[in-house]
Every structure is written in C-alpha cells, then in structure tokens.
Amino acid sequence: MLSKFKRSKHQQHLAQLPKLTQAAADADTLYTAADFRTTLLSAIACASNRIYLVALYLEHDDAGREILNALYQAKQQRPELDICVLVDWHRAQRGRIGAAASDTNADWYYRLAAEYPALSVPIYGVPVNTREALGVLHLKGFIVDDTVIYSGASINDVYLHQHEKYRYDRYQLLTNPTLAETFCRYIKQHLLTSAAVQPLDRAKRATNSELKNEIRQLRLNLRSANYQFQSNASNEELAVTPLVGLGKPSLLNKTIYHLMASTEQKLTLCTPYFNLPSTLVRTIVSLLREGKQVEIIVGDKSANDFYIPEDQPFKIIGALPYLYEINLRRFLSRLQRYVYSGQLIVRLWKDGDNSYHLKGVWVDEKWQLITGNNLNPRAWRLDLENAILIHDPKLELQQQRQQELAMIRTHTTLVTHYIDLQSIDKYPDKVRKLIRRLRRIRIDRLIRRIL
C-alpha cells in the first residue's frame, strides 16, 4: 500500500519538476475532431513566423492533402515562414497494415515537392529504431508561432473527421512562447542534427541498412535527451511542464508513475488499448486498497483502430482488440469488489463505427496530463513519447476540464461486472483459434509488448 510518507515522496517529485507559467486565457480545449481540423488549418493560414508539425504520420488522403497544400500555400504567401514537418521514417515508407506499399506517403511527398520546386516545405523521417516494431516517432505537437496545438492525433481523414467517420482524441491549444520554443529547440537540437533523420520528399532515399549505425546512435542520444527550459513558475500558480522520454527509466515514465501514485481522492485515466505496464497496474491496485477512486475510460473493442468487422477479411492484426479486452476482463475479475463499492469505475466508449484514441491522466482536479502516450508497454519502453503536465492549483481550467471529461463520457457505458465483457468462447471462430494458438506458444505476451 502507498503510505502517507510514500505519497508525499510522489508529490515531492511533482513539486520539484520545473514549470512554465501559463495564462488561463491562453489555454483552450477543443472537443471534436472537426474543430481540431478547422483550427489547425486556420492556424497554418495565419502563421507569421514558424510552423512545425510532428506526428506519427501524414497520410496521402483528403485530409492529408488539405493540410500539406495549406503548408505550401502559406509558404508561397509568406516565403520567410520557417516550416518543418517530421513523421516516422518507417511508417511513411509503407502502406497501411495489410496493404501493399506500391505508392507510399513518402512517394507523395516527393511528387508534391517536385510540383513546387521554388518552395521549401521539408518533410523529414525520424527513425527511432532500425525496425518499426521496435520503436517509432510518437512525439506529438504542432507548433504554430507561439502556440502549441497538442493532440494524440496523426493527420488523415479519420483523425480529422474529414468525412463521415472520426477517431476521437484530445485537442489542447496552449499559447506560450517559452513552451513553443522549448518544443522547437528539442526538434532542432536532437532530431534535425542527427544523420539518421533524413528528408522523405526526395526521389532517392537512404535505406534502413545504410542508416543502421546512425539510427542506433540517434536512439542512444534520445534516451538521455530532455526538454531544456528555465523554470519560471511556482507551485501555487497555473503552470505547464513539457516532458519527453524514450525507454523505461525516462523522466516522462517516472512522472506518469509519480502522478498516478500521488492521488489523494480520484484518478481518471484514458487509454485506447487496455494493456497497462505492471507498474501502473500495481499503483492502481494500491490506490483502491487505500480507498481512493479510480475511473478508467477505454474504447470498446469495436472502437479500436485495429478492429476488423466480422464481414470483412480477417487479418492477424485484427486479434489485438480482443487481446486488450481479455486484459480488461482479467483485470476486472481481480478487482470486482471495488466495482461493487463504486471505487473502481470502468467505462467503455463506443459511438457507432467511429474509433477511440484518447489518452490522458487527471488527478484530484489539480493535475492533468495531455499526451500521445498509450500507457502500454510499447510506449513505456520502445517509442519516443512526450506529454504536457498541467498543474492547476487554483482550478482556473476546471470548467474546461469538466467539460472535456463530460464529452468523453458521453458515448460510454459502465461496466458493472467483468462478465459484461465477452469471454474467448464468444469470439468469432478465427479470432478464438488464433488467440488460443498464440497462447500455446506464448507469443501473445510478446505481441502485447510491441503493439
């Protein structure tokens, strides 16, 4: 159990973090993917100094074309604009999972760059490891002038609600010159200076084998690289702390652990993939034993972006949502008594055939973490992740916080018993057979660690 002494140690970690002052009037929360798209396009059109976009991928579809065309138009109208796009190196050079890679996002970047030879809108690929399965660029944050537009979303039709379907995420706007400069400085010092980070908008691109040594050096450097800034806020005012990390011992991981463990009344946690690191599971169990309340909001398996409807051809990747549901069912079966008492609240999100991609942590009304971190073993060990920790001791952002959580809960249902979740016996035949086969050779554990 977490004694008062240990909890004070967790709170001490949070108190000692460097912080940047944040004006409440310059912190805005968006509540829909469509608003996120229009806000991002408007910010690009109005930019006067710089535009830095960092995402897992920028897809060659209608939404991706609209964003990239907006960047070229902005550069054409204001040639002095400093524009830079960074995406994952591996993801940009393959098709979607299960699709052929005959025409990749990188190929499209090159064709568009060739159409505008006089304009510089560079798109770089960041290889966090030599193979995509062993680590990707999962940094988030779009910096437009002095505003950081932060979301777990990448750029494509579904994330930006370009057509009928959407993928639900969180969307925060923080206008803060020091925060924006901190994000840009990290990109310039630790990514753009690396020989492993290569332009993708070129006809001829380096191969993974040619960059093998450079990639390994980049990964080694990133494990010790943090955001650098001068703290200028006290623990009695609204403040933000940017965090970045790669690998289990990172400052980001440590802060997530200390944040959750410092809970005095209530912890709320969102993740699209219920596959928490064991450290966080133990923390949740300890909080429940001490009488604290824990709310977990997770996507229904059919709202998972890997879910494949039964009327479509089955692929192995389609087993993942079922593995996550198995994790959740097992977790709840251990802790059912806390569900009965009302201490443990589990909500499943589902809105038609839309998908759920929310991540985040809220603690005792005063702390919230906005992040792209999925709070799973892959994020904990393999991917380059970041986050912004918001400390709001005077509850200046309380209304926004409550409205965002109310919106998130809108399409959720309470799980009152672990048997509300399907057992393996009820899964489609192909899924059930595959999971049992994976269990026999124990490869399901490896899959949970890398996906």
Which of 93-97, 193-197, 237-241, 412-416 bottoms out in mean pLDDT, i.e. has the lowest?
93-97
pLDDT digit string, tens, across residues 329-343: 999 999 999 999 999
CA 298 – CA 295 distance, rounded (Å): 10
> Is residue 152 pLDDT above 90, yes or no?
yes
| 385 belongs to the catalytic site | yes
Extract the tokens encoding 401. 């916080």
Q: Pick the catalytic residue: 357, 383, 391, 392?
A: 357
pLDDT digit string, tens, across residues 52-90: 999 999 999 999 999 999 999 999 999 999 999 999 999
What pLDDT is stored for residue 58 in this prediction? 98
CB neighbourhood size of 23 (10 A): 11
Q: Going from the N-terminus, what domains does the chain have, and what CATH number goes with each? A: 4-15+233-450 (3.30.870.10), 26-222 (3.30.870.10)
| 357 belongs to the catalytic site | yes
- Confidence label for 130 from pLDDT (cuts 50, 70 and 90): very high
> What is the percent of the chain where pLDDT is above 90?
88
Q: Pick the catalytic residue: 88, 169, 383, 392?
A: 169
pLDDT digit string, tens, across residues 108-123: 999 999 999 999 999 9
Edge-to-edge strands, sheet with 141-144? 27-30, 171-175, 147-151, 141-144, 50-54, 82-88, 123-126, 198-199
> Is residue 99 pLDDT above 70, yes or no?
no
Q: Pick the catalytic residue: 59, 201, 300, 385?
A: 385
> What is the percent of the chain where pLDDT is above 70?
94
* Torsion angle, alpha carbons of 62, 65, 70, 75, to 10: 180
**Cβ atoms of 448 and 323 closer than 8 Å:** yes
Report the pLDDT averaged over residues 188-210.
Answer: 96
Extract the tokens encoding 101. 């890679």
What pLDDT is stored for residue 439 in this prediction? 75
DSSP 418: G
Q: Pick the catalytic residue: 10, 60, 90, 138?
A: 138
- Confidence label for 101 from pLDDT (cuts 50, 70 and 90): low
Alpha helices, DSSP H, located in 116-229:
177-186, 212-222
